[in-house]
Amino acid sequence: MERGGSDKMRINNIRHRIDEIKDQLENSRQKAVNSLENEKMKFRNSLNEAQKQINEIKKQSYKEGEKLQREFDDLNVQLALGKAETLEAITKQKNQIDQSYSRLKADIKGSLKKAPQSLKVALRKYIQKLEDEKEELDARLELQRLRFADEKKELGKKYVTKKEQIEHDLENIENRINDSWGQTKEKIGHIADEITKKYESLRKRINK
């Protein structure tokens, strides 16, 4: 996760994300589906920030820029394909998003070799931000897969076990967030770093 902004803002951002994960785990099936759609929309909004950089690349190399634009548009299409309401549908959607994103990221990295220094800095910063947002989306997609898998008897046990682990991790992070109340600025900074690492580790465990 990005470490920009104040420590209190970082803590509040993680608190908000934790609440969203808990809602996805605990709400009704339809609300969980809608929650995932909101996360896909957030990722599309982050993705659309790339249009300015793509336009700059087109000025340097139209062919390179057009290739990047096609991958960019394809990923936007994958993210807008509508609600996935079965295990098979969410698995297929996740795979398509992953493949499209991998192609776009590879093209962006390829463009870095030919871009002027000022654009390289902007692209590297953008890739870092996008990677964080993609990891968040991956975690939400995987949570949804687990929820749908729970409806299949042979997969339900895995969901229950992983759900319990996730809830335990969420509780630990929430406890540390609560520990930040009334602390000194320096102490809040340490706690913000700690829970950021804990949350990043949680996302990685969800995505395994």
pLDDT for 68-112, tens place per residue? 889 999 999 999 888 888 888 888 999 999 999 999 888 888 877
Minimal CA–CA distance to 141: which of 201, 189, 90, 105?
90
SS3 percent helix, strand, coil of the chain, rounded to 5, is 85, 0, 15
pLDDT > 70 in the chain, percent: 94
DSSP letter string over 169-201?
HHHHHHHHHHHTTT--HHHHHHHHHHHHHHHHH
Question: For the whole model, what pTM was predicted?
Answer: 0.85
pLDDT tens digits for range 147-166: 887 666 656 677 778 888 99
DSSP 151: T
> Could you give the 3-state DSSP secondary structure of residue 28?
coil
| pLDDT of amino acid 16 | 93
Minimal CA–CA distance to 135: which of 48, 208, 75?
208
Per-residue pLDDT, averaged over 110-135, amounts to: 83
